[in-house]
Amino acid sequence: MKKIILASIALTFLFSCKRMNNSKKQEVNEKWVSLFNGKNLNGWVVKINGYLLNDNIHNTFNVKDGVMSVSYKDYDTFNNNFGHIFYEKPFSSYRLKVDYRFKGEQVPVGAEWALRNSGIMLHSQSPESIGLNQAFPLSIEAQMLGGVEKGISRSTGNLCTPGTNVVMDNKLITEHCINSTADTYYGKEWIHMEVMVIRDSIITHSINGKEVMRYYQPQIGGADINNYNGNWEDRIGEPLERGYIALQSESHPIEFKNIKILELDY
């Protein structure tokens, strides 16, 4: 019996090692690319509401110990200084991985809804096309939320639609935000988010390896269309097939790491 048990343990170990090796080989073969080098903000473009392109006021976006941080330690108050940091080139079909965690306290005068709130902007307009006093880019947002009060659900991985609409269950969705099926995370732990974007066809959000949101046909639209610099009113209903990726600064400190992309051939 002892020999059988030992043989079983050995086979389980070998199978686990093989699976781990196959997983590593698969990730290598899939050619994931790091968008963030862990050293500086090279390859990224900053746009903060009320300021010119790449005016990274008060060092809002910075890098320390291999982590990209949104910091408000040099702010006295928050004057609607919503910001975004864009990767320098647009994408169309891809998978994107980001690890994030909320830290510290919200900057004074930050909006209540922005407490432990951030996100990934997908299929965004270019940073160069954003108006000086434009708070958010026209885009699809994979929202990151942290729990505030124990026992009160505040799911992460939600969908928000600044200047856009999507289709769910064969219906055009015009609500600004739709909750996902994800859990609520109250602490400072790292959360793994992954999105899959297939042109103007389908977008999914996953949290810690579990799909929590799926929708289709991202397109220009929304009741707030006049808030975005450009002639978007003439393009309502136009499919969003590609765009920029951006991370948010919305008044609560947050950290990002392991920002990787796998471009897809469809």
pLDDT 10s per residue in the chain (266 long)?
333 333 333 333 344 444 444 444 455 578 999 999 999 999 999 999 999 999 999 999 999 999 999 999 999 999 999 999 999 999 999 999 999 999 999 999 999 999 999 999 999 999 999 999 999 999 999 999 999 999 999 999 999 999 999 999 999 999 999 999 999 999 999 999 999 999 999 999 999 999 999 999 999 999 999 999 999 999 999 999 999 999 999 999 999 999 999 999 98
For residue 147, give every residue at least 6 positions away whose Cβ sits within 8 Å of its Cβ, in sequence order, or none.
116, 153, 154, 184, 185, 186
Q: Model-level pTM? A: 0.89
Per the structure block, which two tokens stand in for 242?
Answer: 């590609």
What is the maximal distance between C-alpha atoms in the chain? 76
Q: Give the separation between CA 27 and CA 65, rounded to whole angstroms.
A: 24
**Domain boundaries defined on the chain:** 1-30, 33-263
DSSP assignments along the chain, one per residue: -HHHHHHHHHHHHHHHHHHHHHHHHHHHHTT-EES--SSS-TTEEEEETTS-TT--GGG-EEEETTEEEE--TT-SS-SS--EEEEESS-BSEEEEEEEEEE-S-PPTT--GGGTTEEEEEEEEPPGGGS-TT--S-SSEEEEEE---STTS---SSEEE-TTEEEEETTEEE--SEE--SPPP--SS--EEEEEEEETTTEEEEEETTEEEEEEEEEEE--TTGGGSSSSGGGGTT-B---BEEEEEE-SS-EEEEEEEEEE---
pLDDT at 10: 39
Which residue type sits at 19?
Answer: R
Residue linked to tokens 């600004």: 176
pLDDT at 30: 83
The CB density around residue 240, as the number of other CB atoms within 10 Å, is 27
pLDDT at 9: 33
33-263 topology per CATH? Jelly Rolls (2.60.120)
Which residue type sits at 10?
Answer: A
For residue 221, give every residue at least 6 positions away whose Cβ sits within 8 Å of its Cβ, in sequence order, or none.
163, 164, 165, 174, 236, 237
Per the structure block, which two tokens stand in for 209?
Answer: 């390896």
